[in-house]
Amino acid sequence: MENDESLEQFRQWVKQRNPGEEEFLQAIDDVAGDVFSLYREKSEWYDACVLPRLCEADRIISFRVCWEDDNGDIHVNRGWRVQYCGAIGPYKGGIRFHPTVNESILKFLAFEQTFKNALTGLPIGGGKGGADFDPRGRSDREIMRFCQAFMDELYRHIGENTDVPAGDINVGRREIGYMFGQYRRLANTFSGALTGKDIEFGGSHVRMEATGYGLVYFLRCMLAKRDEEVDGQVIAISGAGNVALHAALKAGHLGATVVSLSSSKGALYCKNGIPQELIEEAMDHRAGSTKLLTRMADAGGGEWHQGARPWHFPCDIALPCATQNELDGDDARALIENGVTLVAEGANMPCTAEAVEAFHKACVPHAPGKASNAGGVALSGLEMAQNASFTRWDQERLNQQLLEIMQDIHRQCIADVEGDDGYINYHRGANLAAFRRVASAVYAQGIG
């Protein structure tokens, strides 16, 4: 049977088993298209059904979360933990609180996390969790009660050698602190069962900066392959959260002109660059991102574009840092027409399949999130190492290790995909490198 036919049959098999789970199907399709030929060539992997096995999570835990608001009213939410693949090490991945969270999204995130974690070279498997809880407008006490109720069930399924959750959208140090405190009380142990903690009780330096800084470190490697630097580049960034702001800050420090940030309501555009002091102030700001960005527009001489996305502004480099599928085919074509030369993802799967294809056809190097936004989980892995050895490493050491990990990920991505014309298919390179490590571990541990 021809590989293409087998690949199509495989895709249909996955689709039939996961009806309606569009994000999960997209993530599997993305990897399978790049690795299927390798999978068929490695007869031992093929005979052991390694790829189909990697399309099923080790386990999915779902549970009820009941909590009481400040008025004494009872609310019921749903919580999940997807422990996707533990072949390389303890499950590792964030917890997300958002009303759009569902099992399909968490499966897609955990699948991506498995391959992202493999690229770091650290002994960590892939997982993801969350709840359909909306923290907007909730008091600090309500968020505390929700986090404690969430951990009342989750604590049974995690631990430093089993599953080590971290933060994600709407889950920062405050929420991790509440969950860790409840875990410590319930499990009667003080261990590195969560990462992203405050520095006072087992957290790590550089953790907040890691994903955004790591993205820029990866970008530097991409530019170095073209004998270019970050200095002088015009960069469009989406989002206004932790990743976007730290990427903007680091890029500015290296001499780039960052012209945009965005929210779900619109985009901030500053043709001459968003002032660094406004980015630094935004990191400590508690206001909603839209209000924050409109204030930044007024203060920095920029423009607020209601309902717009930042991909139609002229730029050299695009860094999508908001959410999945935020950059579609039309956005990609607009970026190409405006002269974009590089794209690196700061979020999980922010580019649609159509957008990725458009970049490939135009020979615009595009780094997938599993490679370019791996800095956060890399630092989480280093926090785990510090917790295990009861030590705390300084910022300089951690920043250097983060840089080295991102450089190594870049080396893996370009190992065997650079074309004669100099074009590097980072997307395929990342998938191949990650799949080799995960598949090797799965195969070596036998059927089960």
- What amino acid occupies position 187? A
- Answer yes or no: 128 catalytic: yes
Cβ(213)–Cβ(376) below 8 Å: no
Amino acid, res. 259: V
Closest listed residue to residue 257, CA positions, set 229, 241, 236:
236
Q: For the beta carbon of residue 185, count every other beta carbon within 10 angstroms.
A: 12
Contacts of 119 (CB under 8 A, 6+ apart): 370, 371, 374, 409, 412, 413, 430, 433, 434, 437
Strand partners, 258: 235
| Token digits of residue 209 | 């900066």
Sheet architecture: strand order including 74-85: 59-68, 74-85, 125-131, 91-97, 163-167
Distances (CA, A) of 429 to 87, 88, 116, 274: 21, 20, 12, 33
- Is there a contact between 229 and 219 (Cβ–Cβ < 8 Å)? no
Per-residue DSSP letters for 215-283?
HHHHHHHHHHTTT--STT-EEEE---SHHHHHHHHHHHHTT-EEEEEEETTEEEE-TT---HHHHHHHH
Q: What is the DSSP string of 183-203?
A: HHHHHT----SSSS--GGGT-
Tokens of 270: 């500053």
Among 235, 182, 228, 172, CA closest to 67: 182
CA 365 vs. chain centroid, Å, equals: 19
What are the tokens at 212? 């955004």
For residue 265, the tally of other CB atoms under 10 A from its CB is: 16
For the chain, counts of helices (H) and of strands (E): 17, 12
User: Which residue in the list 92, 107, 116, 128 is annotated as catalytic?
Assistant: 128
For 68, the 3-state DSSP assignment is: strand
CA distance 36 to 31: 8
DSSP structural state of residue 364 = -
Active-site positions read: 128
